[in-house]
Amino acid sequence: MADAWADFREQMPVTRRWAYFNHAAVAPLTGPAAEAIAAWLKSAVEQGGNDWLAWNQQLAKVRELAAGLVNAGRDEIALVHSTTEGISLVAEGLPWREGENVVTLADEFPSNLYPWMNLASRGVETRRVPTDRGRVDFEAFEAACDGKTRIISMSWIGYALGWRHDIARAAELAHRHGALFFLDAIQGLGAFPLDVQAAGIDFFAADGHKWMLGPEGAGLLYVRREHLDRLRPLGVGWNSVVHSNQYDRIELKLKPSAERYEGGSPNSVGFIGLHHSLGLLARYGLAAIGERILEVTDLACEKLARAGAEIVTRRDEPDRRSGIVAFDWPGHDPQAVRRHCLTLDVVLGCRAGHLRISPHAYCNEQDLDRLVDALRSSGEG
């Protein structure tokens, strides 16, 4: 696959300057996405809305492509503006009863906490289970569940330390307790394969601007078909109904699909870009991409450790590894190190007091060597 990854790298213009290790924050766009967005811009400037139908057809292709990537039906995919929007549609859409609860993890990203915590005014409790450096103790997790647990919500991969959770086990636990399972998929979708049927996922949400290599503001919401009528649709508008283009026909007849949650005008340019990035990922296959990402992060851990870094992310369970690695550079302030690396065209992040790298499949050993050289020079002068 060496030639494939070299080809993938050619599709990423960011590599002409940067060693880019920050896909867990905001990823660079692919070349195909950039070309598609440029074509949309030319059309919008020169044609106005005359090409709107063509843009809309590309949105339908996004839905089909995304559904195929996760083994879902196209009618189970909604196009949303963010992970937060997707989580909120589920959190606010469920028919809650006072005294019910949500079980989640204490170290979730805020977007997978606040929408649930916001239900307190409706008498719903959010139970946050601590982790051990990201690792879930499933006995403790199950102990937090009871007969009033309505939903379990968990990130696929912890944003700070990169632990990849056993989501099939979490979904089974939820269903055994008569609860639903929601997956915040943003730190895994685009990096690893996902089969919503095999994993037993009821809902997931993920914006496209991380591992899917798309623009911000263009993401996906999955709603298992049997739950479509369980959620009260929010943000209902002209685009929520079956006769969406008949503006003078006022009849609240919702679409029999997840499209009912797309109430207003879509972010056409964002989804056109996402469509082309997803197409590029599909070309290489998410299983192969996932293996490559683990290969790169394993090599990164070796090189960083030899250089004197202290790896914080747990990598002792192979199936729980991800594309995120947190580490410390002893004796140096993480933010100062990050800023120094930027001056050398090396991009990494800081989370939870640690340095964090998140390479994609197109990153290579030369990028890793640039990272190590930048770290070593951070204390000079």
Domain with residue 157: its CATH number is 3.40.640.10
Which residues, 6+ apart, have CB-to-CB distance to 217 below 8 Å? 81, 82, 207, 209, 267, 270
pLDDT at 381: 41
Q: Give the span between the Cα atoms of 263 and 86, in whole angstroms.
A: 13
Q: Give the span between the Cα atoms of 92 and 105, in whole angstroms.
A: 19
Tokens of 282: 């599909």
Is the same domain home to 255 and 209? yes
- Nearest-5° angle of CA 190, CA 215, CA 71? 30
Is the same domain home to 48 and 101? yes
Is the same domain home to 210 and 292? no
* Nearest Cα residue to 189 out of 72, 270, 272: 72
Quote the pTM value. 0.96
pLDDT at 192: 98
Is the same domain home to 342 and 210? no
Look up residue 259 and give its amino acid: E
Is the same domain home to 7 and 100? no
Q: How many domains in the chain?
A: 2
Name the strands in the sheet holding 325-328, side by side, starting at the edge strand that comes first in the sequence: 310-311, 325-328, 354-357, 349-351
pLDDT at 1: 67
Q: Give the span between the Cα atoms of 296 and 359, in whole angstroms.
A: 7
Q: Give the span between the Cα atoms of 208 and 54, in whole angstroms.
A: 21
| Domain end among 235, 261, 282 | 282
Print the domain residue range for 333.
Answer: 2-29+285-379
Which residues, 6+ apart, have CB-to-CB distance to 332 below 8 Å? 378, 379
Residues of the chain with pLDDT under 70: 1, 380-381
Is the same domain home to 173 and 293? no
Is the same domain home to 300 and 211? no
pLDDT at 379: 73
* Nearest Cα residue to 90 out of 150, 130, 146: 150
Is the same domain home to 238 and 348? no
| Domain end among 282, 315, 349 | 282
The CATH number that applies at residue 340 is: 3.90.1150.10
Beta bridge partners, 181, equal: 152
| Domain end among 282, 305, 320 | 282
pLDDT at 112: 98
What separation in angstroms does the CA of 272 have from each of 38, 198, 268? 10, 29, 6
